[in-house]
Chains A and B, each alone.
Chain A
């Protein structure tokens, strides 16, 4: 990369340059209420089986937010989420049925709450353990570990006979008063609202800013005194907590938990729905998840129509075909998103969400105002930021300042030197593989196609020039020497 220095970008700024008028606020609130009211009205007015599908969409949204916490906020891939959700679902059902005896006597609300708490705890503990592993193993290798964990759960834990009743499945009776599909859909929507609230309030707090900074660059965050380890674990635990809640809801929604609901196809679909929604973008992830949950049902009549249209297309009507089409279309959509629109749905709807958040309506993602949405942030930071994913073992990003091609290198080098002396050295990144870097260090600068967004302007572009002049000959010489020495060190 041409970027020699990394500094933490401000995640949110307190001062507002522009605030909407009272009228503007009223309009915004009205639209927001209209959207929320529309969802409630829709849920209440549709037929029962559609309400059940809305419940599924809401649960998917909770799962999406759970994955987003790991994938979008701290930039690590978890391919084992079906294990978190699945184990939680089995635990919830097991408690409700085997311990509280819901199977024949019906379930009280308090039993439902207790099951959900147990489920959430199980998810949090499992994810916390994964978080500990993730401190040492990152990037590609963590993805591998999580995939292995998911498959092991599928073949091992989900086969334990007292949990699955020998494969027949563990029943989970919905709580009294919420048995109907409409009522249960509202229950899931309430839980979704709660999860959104927790996610939102955490991300706008100090914790959230710290987590985002960890994603941007761990060593730099550490050098600013941010407890990288702690915040990473917090993110993992919260992700597991959400996954646990989702698992419990899924158990009671399905009313019978079977291992097949948590296959690896499912977990990969979840990852892709978050990618399509837009990593790190709350609204996008919710829309993306709901879309993936509902898409099949919307597709059903279409396929039916197509199948009836022409004899050879009849196979489209066959049982299950729609579920398979969902997988194909979903995967293709994800590939398309990754290559063409890395910001995902979230970026596409960001003009609206930013307007609702109290900014001017503008199609430009780099809107000037209170908090930039994650999508706009992603669009500015090059491919790395585009997917919001992080490389591992990135200590050298901080020290690697000898790239002469960087346009502001004198100034940048000065910044780096100051940083290196003023702040404690970043802890050695326990990267799994020293060769995890995609390409050798200097190649990036030569390979970057022009026009690709580059973080340089944010980094050192504020006021160089005069400052660099003032440094004088000795300063420059010293810096050059340092640069050369580093270069020599690097090649050793």
Chain B
């Protein structure tokens, strides 16, 4: 029994199916990566797992419990935490307030939250420098850091990270990936959706999606550039 099991998942928008019978597993403690072109259904997959998009069929099982169709509020409390595409930090709240809301299910545990904040700021020292600043005034990279830090506040067992590298410079991307690796090594399972193939360095396992299904899966290190090119172009190079 895997940590996260996706079985025959299908969903879509309006009448149009996006995912058709998607199945894959993520084991506890590993970093898995979903790769694929725009429109392959990666974000839809991750939103459906996080309970933010309704599944039409199939099941999602997490830690032995079926969680399909559960409210995001309950999923966050269970430990499935999404870091959404486009960061979605609260622009007119300070960094401190953003982090405070990140710990929503544990809002009574003041002491625990303080420790968590220390941890998060250790990963991203830049956040401490801008502690009382409105999140909307941060740069894109800093917002991404804040989004990840906010996710950590919810004591995740599993982090779902959607396009963390989008719009970041190579250097910042490297920093962010590095922190994700550290978070993973500290015991959190990670599922990332990426278009940046650089993510394969930290992936224990990689899936390539096309038109709503997995067309390739394997260990991250096994995937070479030819595979990636095939995945992206739909034709052997």
Contacts and interface: CB of A to CB of B under 8 A. Distances in A.
A456 interface: yes
Contacts of A473: 232-233
Nearest to A442: B86
Contacts of A461: 16
B101 interface: no
Contact of B39 (A409, A484, A487): A409
Given A410-B38, A446-B47, A483-B38, A454 B167 contact: no
Contact of B16 (A456, A480, A484): A456
A426 interface: no
B140 A409 contact: no
B13 A407 contact: yes
A362 interface: no
A60 B140 CA distance: 55
B15 A457 contact: yes
A481 B47 CA distance: 23
A407 B166 contact: no
Contacts, number: 96
B38 A480 contact: yes
Given A406-B39, A446-B47, A446-B53, A454 B16 contact: yes
A364 B14 CA distance: 18
Contacts of A2: 13-14
A407 B12 contact: yes
A487 B166 contact: yes
Nearest to B17: A407
A77 B196 CA distance: 47
B37 interface: yes
Nearest to B162: A404
B39 A488 contact: no
Given A404-B38, A409-B39, A487-B166, A450 B233 contact: no
B39 A476 contact: no
Interface residues of B, number: 34
Interface string B127-169: 0000000000000100100000000000000000001001100
Given A407-B12, A410-B38, A454-B15, A446 B52 contact: yes
A29 B163 CA distance: 61
B38 to A, nearest CB: 5
A492 interface: yes
Interface string B215-237: 00000000000000000111000
A445 B85 CA distance: 12
Interface residues of A, number: 39
A147 B226 CA distance: 65
Contacts of A456: 13-14, 16
A469 B234 contact: yes
Interface in A432-453: 440-442, 445-453
Contact of A450 (B11, B42, B86, B87): B11
B38 A407 contact: no
B43 interface: yes
Contacts of A484: 166-167
A22 interface: no
Contact of A476 (B15, B37, B52): B37
Interface in A476-492: 476, 479-480, 483-485, 487-488, 490-492
Contact of B88 (A440, A453, A457, A488): A440
Contacts of B43: 404-405
A424 B19 CA distance: 36
Given A404-B38, A409-B38, A454 B52 contact: no
A440 B84 CA distance: 13
B38 A457 contact: no
Contacts of B44: 405
Interface of B: 11-18, 37-39, 41-44, 47, 52-54, 56, 84-88, 140, 143, 163, 166-167, 195, 232-234
Given A405-B13, A450-B54, A457-B15, 5 more contacts: A407-B13, A410-B38, A451-B15, A491-B86, A491-B140
27 contacts: A404-B38, A404-B85, A407-B16, A407-B18, A407-B39, A408-B39, A409-B38, A410-B37, A413-B38, A445-B47, A449-B54, A450-B14, A456-B16, A457-B14, A457-B15, A461-B16, A473-B232, A476-B233, A479-B38, A484-B167, A485-B167, A487-B85, A487-B167, A490-B86, A491-B87, A491-B167, A492-B140
